[in-house]
Chain A
């Protein structure tokens, strides 16, 4: 996973509340054999509407999504995080996230930033015309207009994201212990 320090760029001012995982990625995309390419199915029902925000050229290449309350509720499908990642999203700002979704997002190296509704409203406004900067190290979100908001994040998650460590990466850091165990096994239980 790539380490995240600062995410800056245009943000999609989406803002809708209670967006469930079916909206993020419809069930028909679950039979795929790959986690890449799911971006084309992301927000499919919304994208079917003319003039929708996701196909607005103003936000092409945006790497931040600003969402509403309870983003990512519904099923536990990891495909929702895979789809957002495939769209190029590196961070999501919302007043709240579903637990499972934020866990899945974290596992896939997406930063979820929780900020109060009024702050999110301000960011939705700014995002229409200007870029936004998220500084994970200092836990701040800033705009070109001197806005500066701080956010809370679990220290363990922050550490993992800053260093690009996923769960597999964390265990791989215990390589010496695993190797030592394997050496004992090779002697004691050589048939395995």
Chain B
């Protein structure tokens, strides 16, 4: 038994080593494997060609999300409406055939539990603290919000996990991002992670697994922690972790796939041993003062291009690094922005509230609180609310949030990835601007020529009702006697 103090990451790693090689690479056991329709087909095919089986189909969960249209999926008689796009339909059909053929639990496109894979995993209690979780998708890091070691993998690795339930990996370095203090009014978990990425940069976490520590994350809801961990990949990190605590256990207890009875008690006892030991070392430490974080958003085409909403579009010349100057100029040309423009003066035509970053119930509540009693501005041509899962959607409807959105002029859609990456019909038209709660503002991400500003759900709502990027703190709740 080792007595050396260890970090949360090291404890999870050590608990999953099947074999350690001389060069330090380890064969790591994988506890949970999520799959969706985009990255699994060729892995299934490779197994079929090699005559191999899935080692542990019971540790897998399949759900389609990327290609599904967010318009109605069944017609008036309850029959399924086929997907018009041939390629999307083919990918969906492949998953629909492969999952049962290989004995994988499958949540189909019209099931009430269907949703974005990274929303569904935690919601179903499939994702658990201390577990190793993989998916052929980079935002698998989201599950780290529950204290799981979760990361995205490529198609060959998907095949490797399917056949062997293991991966050959080299240990990552560790990085602590500590945020202590009190968050200001209107500052949400999305603002916290955008601010962090702005500080450490889009490559700041490369080679590392980040652990988020400090009272801000302790006090943060599980939904908020999932949002933060989700965007670890935008900071270049392999994965992001928040230590499990009473909130985590309360969130998971009773969920359909979470352990029950004796197993729950055993799990709980183990989970409580996971948090980082006092005196454990991180390879890198970043400390951020909570009070310094404003409602934040991006101006450019990298997630590190972050400014407070009170800020202006930066002058490329203001960056010290010449390569960043050139990149900033390119970003501004693409985004159609002029240095010095106040962020609040930038008009938007599209609003997207959704994605695995911000489509949970808390996100919808935050947006609805701003929208309530207001209307979507006239210059906004498209305003979508895409809940992260069918269960989130139903919950929101029970709370009457759908009425608030629909009355204001939003479209209330079916769950899926939607305008986060525009693989389905939801796209930002070329040259138009979108206030989006998603995680990537890359060139063309939301459709060819699309211009994305990453924001929190509350800020997306504020942009929707004002028609421009707006400071949510200036919008008093309508009808509240404050």
Given A167-B160, A171-B27, A35–B45 Cβ distance below 8 Å?
yes
Interface residues on B, range: 35 or more
Q: Establish whether residues A171 and B164, one from each chain, have CB atoms under 8 Å apart when the complex forms.
A: yes
* A178 at interface by CB-CB < 8 Å: yes
Of B42, B46, B159, B164, which one neighbours A178 at CB under 8 angstroms? B164
Q: Establish whether residues B94 and A33, one from each chain, have CB atoms under 8 Å apart when the complex forms.
A: yes
Q: Interface stretch among B2-10, B100-108, B261-269, B433-441? A: B261-269
Query: B87 to chain A: closest CB distance in Å?
Result: 5
Query: A167 to chain B: closest CB distance in Å?
Result: 6
* B34 at interface by CB-CB < 8 Å: no
On chain A, the residues within 8 Å of B59 by CB distance are: 192
Of B19, B41, B46, B155, which one neighbours A174 at CB under 8 angstroms? B19
Closest to B16 in A: A181
* A168 at interface by CB-CB < 8 Å: yes
Of B45, B131, B267, which one neighbours A36 at CB under 8 angstroms? B45
Closest to A180 in B: B18
Q: Establish whether residues B166 and A192, one from each chain, have CB atoms under 8 Å apart when the complex forms.
A: no
* B31 at interface by CB-CB < 8 Å: yes
Q: Establish whether residues B91 and A172, one from each chain, have CB atoms under 8 Å apart when the complex forms.
A: no
On chain B, the residues within 8 Å of A174 by CB distance are: 18-19, 27, 164
Sorted from nearest, which 4 A-B pairs have the closest CB atoms?
Answer: A191-B259, A33-B41, A191-B263, A191-B267
A192 to B264, alpha carbons, bound, how many Å? 11
**CB<8 Å pairs between A and B, sample of 13:** A33-B90, A35-B42, A107-B156, A166-B50, A168-B160, A171-B27, A171-B166, A177-B27, A181-B18, A181-B29, A190-B263, A191-B263, A192-B59
On chain A, the residues within 8 Å of B46 by CB distance are: 35
On chain A, the residues within 8 Å of B366 by CB distance are: none
Closest to B259 in A: A191
Contact with A along B132-162 (1 / 0, CB 8 A): 0000000000000000000000011001100
* A58 at interface by CB-CB < 8 Å: no
13 additional contacts (CB under 8 A) given A181-B29, A190-B266, A191-B128: A31-B87, A33-B42, A35-B42, A36-B45, A167-B156, A168-B50, A168-B159, A174-B18, A174-B164, A178-B55, A178-B166, A185-B29, A191-B259
Query: B182 to chain A: closest CB distance in Å?
Result: 37
A35 to B45, alpha carbons, bound, how many Å? 8
Q: Establish whether residues A34 and B41, one from each chain, have CB atoms under 8 Å apart when the complex forms.
A: yes
On chain A, the residues within 8 Å of B266 by CB distance are: 189-191
Of A36, A167, A177, A192, which one neighbours B18 at CB under 8 angstroms? A177
* B422 at interface by CB-CB < 8 Å: no
Closest to A167 in B: B160
Contact with B along A146-170 (1 / 0, CB 8 A): 0000000000000000000011100
Of A33, A78, A191, which one neighbours B91 at CB under 8 angstroms? A33
Query: A150 to chain B: closest CB distance in Å?
Result: 30
Number of A interface residues at 8 Å Cβ cutoff, please give it: 23
Given A168-B52, A178-B165, A189–B270 Cβ distance below 8 Å?
yes
Chain B interfacial positions (CB closer than 8 Å to A): 15, 18-19, 27, 29, 31, 41-42, 45-46, 49-50, 52, 55, 59, 87, 90-91, 94, 128, 131, 155-156, 159-160, 163-166, 168, 259, 263-264, 266-267, 270
On chain A, the residues within 8 Å of B168 by CB distance are: 167, 171
Chain A interfacial positions (CB closer than 8 Å to B): 1, 31, 33-36, 78, 107, 166-168, 171-172, 174, 177-178, 181-182, 185, 189-192
On chain B, the residues within 8 Å of A189 by CB distance are: 15, 266-267, 270
On chain B, the residues within 8 Å of A190 by CB distance are: 263, 266
On chain A, the residues within 8 Å of B27 by CB distance are: 171, 174, 177-178
A66 to B258, alpha carbons, bound, how many Å? 56
Query: B460 to chain A: closest CB distance in Å?
Result: 30
Query: A166 to chain B: closest CB distance in Å?
Result: 8
On chain B, the residues within 8 Å of A185 by CB distance are: 29
A185 to B164, alpha carbons, bound, how many Å? 15
Given A178-B164, A181-B18, A78–B155 Cβ distance below 8 Å?
yes
A107 to B49, alpha carbons, bound, how many Å? 14
Given A34-B42, A190-B263, A178–B18 Cβ distance below 8 Å?
yes
A182 to B42, alpha carbons, bound, how many Å? 27
Q: Establish whether residues A171 and B45, one from each chain, have CB atoms under 8 Å apart when the complex forms.
A: no
On chain A, the residues within 8 Å of B165 by CB distance are: 178, 182
